[in-house]
Amino acid sequence: MKRILALLNCLLITGILVAQNPVRWEFQSKKISDKQYEISVAAMIQPGWHIYSQYTPEGGPVPTQLSFNNHPMIILNGSVKEAGNLQEKFEEVFDLKVKYYSGTVVFKQLVTLKKKVKTKITGAVTFMVCNDSQCLPPKKESFSISL
């Protein structure tokens, strides 16, 4: 009986952790010209939660990071840009000022195709989401976006 209760307890805790996903991601591309596209990776963050800027200082929380898989037909132009309501605050637990986003933030990357072809860009976004009392473990969300 104790084993059954322990198993049910573990399943309940696992179910709560899996169900607790306060960030929803959307991935899309917008054609800028014949061979140039703007990749948008948008985070919709539930109220009370936040994710960290990709420019979070070392020694702090896990910054949001976009990585793109190598593709012989795609050139990344410049670095990933952030668009949203950037906030800053001193966090005692890290003993430094951190940058974060609540609500919605969009990460944008310009890409150029070497030839005019239909293809996909793939990669992942790694992020950590926190609220005022807890942080969830860093998570990696894969994506594939048509160009």
Nearest to 89 by CA among 50, 62, 135, 128: 50
Domain extents in the chain:
22-146
Q: How many angstroms separate the CA atoms of 57 and 63, rounded?
A: 8
Fold category of 22-146 in CATH: Immunoglobulin-like (2.60.40)
Residue 99 CB-density burial (10 A; 0-12 exposed, 13-18 middle, 19+ buried): middle
Q: What is the pLDDT of residues 76-107, one digit of tens each?
A: 999 999 999 999 999 888 899 999 999 999 99
Model pLDDT, residue 17: 46
Nearest to 66 by CA among 140, 146, 147: 140
Q: What is the pLDDT of residues 102-130, one digit of tens each?
A: 999 999 999 999 999 999 999 999 999 99
pTM for this prediction = 0.83
